[in-house]
Chains A and B, each alone.
Chain A
């Protein structure tokens, strides 16, 4: 049976991208261990509203770990201390009575703060728009079984496609690099015959857009891989580099 815990919660408050931020501190009492982290923040907000104060703002939506909307830097880790889980899948039983829990937004030049811990990740959409697709017109596709794809390739492509675009990799990286995100999409499509015809163009266009938007370079610290809630592998980055070099050599 889960027990209740009490702890100190420090949350980042910031009124807008250009405003100065600060931490607010709250004492949370008797929170059941089977409460999710975001439900705990709901409890905090209900309390704030009761006191006629502005609730704490954070992004969240599906609360099942799949939409990629939730973010939050919890005690120095994107998505908190649990491995392979998003913040919405983090449960309070992971924490101990008397803990101090610090909540901050993603910090990256490419993800400006909108309010409190809500950040603007539209840069990711711009990278996908630059080339993260196959150029197929609606209704023109051949039969789905016309091209056989070895199970191993399909499974590996699926692992790459599991990326939820949350931005934890960028937040974890000391350089603010988006290489894990970009390489996962490039890898998924490079591994499938449907994605091959545009593989070179795609790799070049997505990398160029990433650089233009102010993301940093990759220096192989592997912090992204360690913090990714979907366990994306940096082997994808190696594959992206190969695709990129091949594309450049072909120029």
Chain B
């Protein structure tokens, strides 16, 4: 898996204070986003959170109300031609001319790109597995085939950066697996994939980094490991869960402890002491208090839990 640093020079996308208003409504509200190069970056959020809006702004399809942004180091929209020359994108569902064949649709897009794009058509069709159906009208394609043709269209740019807006929408499990494989293959070649999705599990499986957006604001971002680690918990089996919870709840590095059936669940602070030292201290304290322990196990945390924690918290703060 490719991991990149997040220093300025290595960023595929950077936005600062990006705001977009539609009338009285803030679709985006001061978004600061940093997408490293060479990674699959998940842009997570519920429907209407602003995911497509930010992609439209980055592609210069719409104009920001305030703030600044750059794509592949070029300011957008001022230098959009240079920025977008290395970008392939699917915005919302991929749209095509149904009365043209798959190949002709790519020819139309290649004509828009100019340069070498037309020469990349056969390889792009081959890569997404549509060579045999390239002469058929797109109106006869399934949704999965259209998604793959959309990715082939992105490849005409030989892109450094791909924006894929909900690429798994409407796909069956086999189709999702196929698209996931395509995305990972693109990242393995050193390309950056910006994957907008509301499918949390898909983002966790496919992406290296992610940002969570809600109501037009990026509420957290980082590597998938960092995001899920912020929700670290361990389960400890003991004969007196109530006393155990009281003993460890105030320890430095512990966010809280809750009694559960046959034990206690301890939440570790996101930026607290290293796990090994902290867990050792927790266990030592319980043993010193003569509590019996029959199990100590980490609780696997998912991006979904993290996402729900954050969005629920925001809902509560409203």
The answer to whether A and B come from one shared complex is: no
Q: Which residues of B contact A (CB under 8 A)?
A: none
Q: Which residues of A contact B (CB under 8 A)?
A: none
